[in-house]
Amino acid sequence: MGKNSVLFIVMIICGYLLAQQLQVGGRLEQITDPTKSNAISVEVAELIKGNKKLQEELRTLQDQKSSLTESSSSTSKTDASLNEQVQELKILTGETVVTGQGVAITFDKSLQLTQLVDLVNALRNIGVEAISINGTRIIGSTVITETMGDVPLTILAVGSKDVLHDSLLRRGGIMEQIGSDGQATTKDTLEIPSIK
């Protein structure tokens, strides 16, 4: 084999290694892209939060099921278990006045419709249990209208007061995003009206 052939083979190996190096570099750049990693981190955080909620729901349902089984011979126990379920469903459907800790959010300037829709959506994502806007109860099927954002504007949200307060006011949080000078104050007791 001539010198040129040896050189040719060596160059092929060299080219292959170079290409490999460049490819690995490209892949690494993609993998270590902070935007991609950040997106997955937030997804993981949302999954953890969501799964915790699902586990709690599963526990509640298991308790409900076993109390129904145990109480099959006792009418009073059955009624108590069913009443508990009715109460929870009434909170969710807005058919009752709700009390509990939470936050009161006030605005001095009117909010646009999209800002209000985004704020209600953010409250739900944080884990709110009941909402009212200027005394109107907001449930899943409530339409948010432009006039709801008129001042004086007070939004009451029942849920974990600290989680709600900190999530609303964190840097880059919804209050900063909607860019309106709003105030969120924690409250030990709030009262949210029913839809009726």
Partner 1 sequence: MQFLPGAPQVDHMKNVLRLKTTLLLLAVGLSIGILFALQFQAPQTRVFNPVSPFIALQDSKTSLTADQADLKNSISTIRDEISKQQDSLKSTKKSTKGIVEQVEELKIIAGLTQLKQRGLVITLADSQSKDVTIDSIVHAADLRDIVNVLWGTKAQAISINDQRLVSTSSVDSIVNTILVNNTKIANPFIIKVVGDQSKMKQALLSGDNLKDILRRQKSNGLIYNVESSPEVTVTAFDGGFAIKHSKVKE
Closer CB to partner 1, 44 or 108, in the complex: 44
Among residues 111, 119, 159, 167, which is the contact residue for partner 1, using CB under 8 A? 159
Residue 183's contacts (CB-CB under 8 Å, 6 or more residues apart) are: 105, 106, 107
**Peptide linkage before 34 cis (omega within 30 of 0):** no
Closer CB to partner 1, 129 or 182, in the complex: 129
CB of 177 to partner 1, least distance (A): 11
91 in Cβ contact with 129 (< 8 Å): yes
Closer CB to partner 1, 145 or 183, in the complex: 145
Residues 26-65, one symbol each (x = binds partner 1 by CB under 8 A, - = not), give: --x--xx--xxxxxxxxxx-xxxxxx-xxxxxx-xxx-xx
Residues 67-106, one symbol each (x = binds partner 1 by CB under 8 A, - = not), give: -xx--x--x--xx--xx-xxxxxxxxxxxxxxxxxx----
119 in Cβ contact with 149 (< 8 Å): no
How many chain residues are in contact with partner 1, going by CB under 8 A?
89
User: Where in 57-170 does DSSP place strands (E)?
Assistant: 98-107, 130-133, 136-138, 153-158
